[in-house]
Chain A
Amino acid sequence: MNASKTDTRLGLAITLAVAAFLIGPVVLSVLAGLTKNYFVGLSSGLTLRWIEQVWSLYADTIWRSFAVALLTLAICTVVGVPAAWVLTLYRGRLARALEELLTLPVAVPGLASALALIVSWGTVRGLRGSIWFIVIGHVLFTLPFMVRAARASMHGADLATLDEAAATLGASRTQRFLQIVVPNAASGIVTGALTVLTLSIGEFNLTWLLHTPLTTTLTVGLADSYASMRLEIASAYTLVFLLMLVPLLVGLQWLAARGDRPSRIAPTRTSSP
């Protein structure tokens, strides 16, 4: 018992140390964004001036990032959820090959994917300079996450059998998909959606190559401010970035924890009629 107590304490200490190591720089950065003069230190006083400056300089990049993320999410949902369903129903060799292919953009470095996109689509007039070009890149990168999450919950809830039951009751393919598959895979779809949003907002590699001066997004703006502004502004930018991303991440964790619970529809043996 003593040994286990020591173990617990040791574990806690290590966890806290690792957490401090990870969070420390973030906290310092946030403080830097709020101090009047970082080189003088906190004694120079706190201010929201830098955040105001970030807003006036970069507000458009923030809105653009949101627009890109929402468009990416819309496409990923419309394409990814039916794709996940098809992959759940057909477990042939072709389906497995398709799924592997789908995960390829995750493994390939973002810069390489971006370069491939520029080579293949860069000359299409009007596309290269619009945010749709970035959206295409983000969809390529995030789609596998939506498909994976949706498929996991479809598989876990034995939706293939529910789909068969609905078919025998007279429901058409579309009715089954909308009334049975989507509602019962909702937790996976929502998890996938939050993952897509988070990844899209934080994506830098692809975006950095795909953007033009008129389609700068949040992360590209962040890099720009680090490179060309005073440290406090870049730090304040980080703070803005965190304020947008942290709620999303918390939501993601919460949903993932909910999804981990044992399925509520698992057949149970019981003795009362």
Chain B
Amino acid sequence: MTDPVAITLTHCAKTWPDGSRALQPIDLHVQGGETLALLGPSGCGKTTLLRLICGLEQADAGASIRFGDDEVTALPPEARGVGVVFQSYALFPNMSVVQNVAYGLRVRDIGATERERRARELLALVQLDGFADRRVDQLSGGQRQRVALARALAIEPRVLLLDEPLTALDAKLREHLRVELAQMLRQLRITTVIVTHDQDEAMMLGDRIAVMSAGHLEQVGTAETLYREPASDFVAEFLGTLCRVRAGLQSGMLVAGADSLAFRPHEARLEPARAGALPARVLARFFLGGSVRYEIGLDDGQRFPVVAPAHSGHAAGDTVSVMVAPGAAARENRA
């Protein structure tokens, strides 16, 4: 495959004909060969952004989309050289599996023998060698997803775009295919943008993650950066759970006070009640196999979860004091 190209979006906004704004002006750079995950709740504009990149929607005037040095802003999707995997996979029911994969080559006037050979190569890549002559409706959901991927890759796209590629599958299979897809994307080294609302998916598949909300980018960075140094409460809460407590913190211990504290459930620790500590009560204990999750209540009615190792043995009704790891305490003054 050729050298991966970067995607550069400059001032990309999208306004619908009825005047509502789907995307605020966005600047985004995806490095060549990188996988960027667009993460956000439904309706945040991530799919719209993906459709701008592949040309299925036109950005508002003033936007620029470049693949490497190529300005593609005005090009229709058929001229952009993008491989797209749709959420519904959009396989053509009037064609067999191999014909689906070869379709992009067929419209490029590549001879029947050559395109069949290349389509079969790609089917081998996605481990569907034996399925070439099946009809699309004879495939399982996971197989369809892989056919869609093979079809998108067959045209040797400059850019690969995946729209919620695993959402249509059930949980077990999703987990399995997530690992497979992550390995394949690393191996292909093709510039990829993947849209997802699932934080685990974004963290596993994306070299970097762009968190979106309400039509704008909240933060772009590696999963670790986003998790450890979220730029906003939205990012902190979207990547994992955030406990927000109004209390004081004294040498790592929750005490009476009115500071705004924010920490992750596993950054807190429960200890037997101590003098001076803010009294906290275990409202419920859930054993989750690898860990224990407590629901903690304070006297003033505040509640938050705490996750502890599996051997942690506080019982519902116990009065405890809450310790917060020093690193997490640094977040206390953040807005």
A residues at B contact (CB < 8 Å): 157-158, 161-162, 164-172, 175, 179-180, 183-184, 186, 264-265, 267-273
Cα–Cα distance between A264 and B143 once the two chains are bound (Å): 16
Known interface pairs A164-B86, A168-B54, A169-B103; A271-B170 also in contact (CB < 8 Å): yes
A169 vs B147: C-alpha distance in the bound complex, in angstroms?
A: 14
A169-B103, A270-B170, A273-B142 given as contacts; is B94 within 8 A of A164 (CB)?
A: no
How many angstroms from the CA of A69 to the CA of B83 in the assembled complex?
Answer: 45
**A169 and B155 contacting across the interface, CB-CB below 8 Å:** yes
Which residues of B (111-148) have their CB < 8 Å from a CB of A?
136-137, 140-144
In the bound complex, residues from chain A placing their C-beta under 8 Å from that of B84 are 164-165, 168
Q: What CA separation (Å) do A105 and B169 show in the bound complex?
A: 47
Whether A168 pairs with B77 at a CB distance below 8 angstroms is yes
Chain A CB within 8 A of B173 CB: yes
Q: Do B56 and A164 touch (CB < 8 A)? A: yes
Bound together, the chains give a CA A143 to CA B81 distance in angstroms of 39
The answer, among A166, A167, A168, for a CB contact under 8 Å with B92, is: A166
| CA distance in complex: A161, B78 (Å) | 14
* Contacting pair B88 A161 (CB below 8 A): yes
Q: How far is the CA of A268 from the CA of B88 in the complex (A)?
A: 10
Q: For the complex, is B93 an interface residue (Cβ under 8 Å from A)?
A: yes
Contact of A272 among B88, B107, B142, B168 (CB under 8 A): B142
A267 touches B168 (CB 8 A): yes
Identity of the chain A residue whose Cβ is nearest the Cβ of B81 in the assembled complex = A170
Pick the contact of A270: B83, B142, B152 (CB < 8 A): B142
Q: State whether B170 touches A162 (Cβ < 8 A).
A: no
A26 to B177 CA separation, bound complex (whole angstroms): 63
Chain A hits for B46, CB < 8 A: none
CB of B112, distance to nearest CB on chain A (Å): 14
**Contact between B137 and A264 (Cβ–Cβ < 8 Å)?**
yes
- Tell me whether B208 is interfacial, beta carbon within 8 Å: no
Which residue in A158, A171, A269 is a CB contact (below 8 Å) of B170?
A: A269
A167 near B137 with CB under 8 A, answer no
Within 8 A of A (CB), among B73-107: 76-84, 86, 88-94, 103-104, 107
Which single residue of chain B is at the shortest CB-CB distance from A173?
B78
Whether B334 is near chain A, meaning CB under 8 Å from some CB there, is no
* Chain B residue contacts of A264, Cβ below 8 A: 93, 137
CA distance A164 to B152 in the complex (A): 13
CA distance in complex: A128, B90 (Å): 49
- Give Cα A234–Cα B55 distance, bound, in whole angstroms: 63
B140 touching A175, Cβ below 8 Å: no
A52 to B167 CA separation, bound complex (whole angstroms): 68
A272 to B140, CA, bound (A): 7
**Which residue, A169, A264, A268, has most C-beta atoms of chain B within 10 A?**
A169
Contact between A167 and B108, CB atoms less than 8 A apart: no
Residues facing A in B150-186 (CB within 8 A) are: 151-152, 155, 168-170, 172-173, 176-177
Nearest-neighbour CB distance to chain B for A95, whole angstroms, equals: 13
User: Which residues of chain A have C-beta atoms less than 8 A from B55's C-beta?
Assistant: 167-168
Contacts of A271 in B (CB 8 A): 170, 172-173
Known: A272-B142, A273-B142, A273-B176. A167 touches B90 (CB 8 A): no
Nearest B residue to A92, CB-CB = B17
Chain B residues within 8 Å of A166, by CB: 92, 103, 107
New A-B pairs, 15, CB < 8 Å, besides A161-B86, A269-B141 = A161-B90, A166-B92, A169-B151, A170-B81, A171-B78, A172-B107, A175-B107, A179-B103, A184-B93, A270-B141, A270-B169, A270-B170, A272-B140, A273-B140, A273-B143
In the assembled complex, the CB of A94 is this many whole angstroms from the nearest CB of chain B, namely 12
**Given the complex, which residues of A lie within 8 Å of B86, measured CB to CB?**
161, 164-165
Closest beta carbon of chain A to B305's beta carbon, Å: 30
- Roughly how many angstroms separate A271 CA and B141 CA in the complex, as a whole number? 8
Contact of A170 among B90, B107, B140, B170 (CB under 8 A): B107
Query: Which residues of B sit under 8 angstroms from A186, Cβ to Cβ?
Result: 94
Is the pair A167, B88 in contact by a Cβ cutoff of 8 Å?
Answer: no
CA distance A88 to B140 in the complex (A): 29
Q: List 8 A-B contacts (CB under 8 A).
A: A161-B86, A164-B77, A165-B84, A165-B90, A167-B76, A179-B103, A265-B91, A272-B173
Residues of the A chain whose Cβ atoms lie less than 8 Å from the Cβ of B136: 265
Minimal Cβ-Cβ distance residue in A for B76: A167
Chain B 43-56: CB-based contact to A (< 8 A → 1; otherwise 0): 00000000000111
Could you say which residues of chain B place their CB within 8 Å of the CB of A272? Answer: 140, 142, 173
Q: How far is the CA of A112 from the CA of B81 in the complex (A)?
A: 54
Q: A168-B54, A168-B78, A273-B177 are in contact. Are A162 and B90 (CB under 8 A)?
A: yes
Of the candidates B77, B94, B142, B172, the one whose C-beta lies within 8 Å of that of A167 is: B77
Find out whether the CB atom of A183 lies under 8 angstroms from the CB atom of B94. yes
Which A-chain residue is minimally distant from B127 (CB atoms)?
Answer: A273
Query: Could you tell me the distance in whole angstroms from the C-beta of A267 to the nearest C-beta in chain B?
Result: 5
| Interface contact B168-A169, CB-CB below 8 Å | no
A169 contacts B90, C-beta separation under 8 Å: no
CB distance from A169 to the nearest CB of B (A): 4
Min CB distance B330 to A, Å, is: 43
In the complex, the chain B residue whose C-beta lies closest to that of A169 is: B104
Closest B residue by C-beta to A264: B137
In Å, the complex CA distance between A12 and B24 comes to 64
Q: Is the CB of B141 within 8 A of A268?
A: yes
| 6 closest Cβ pairs, A-B complex | A169-B104, A165-B90, A183-B94, A270-B140, A265-B93, A168-B84
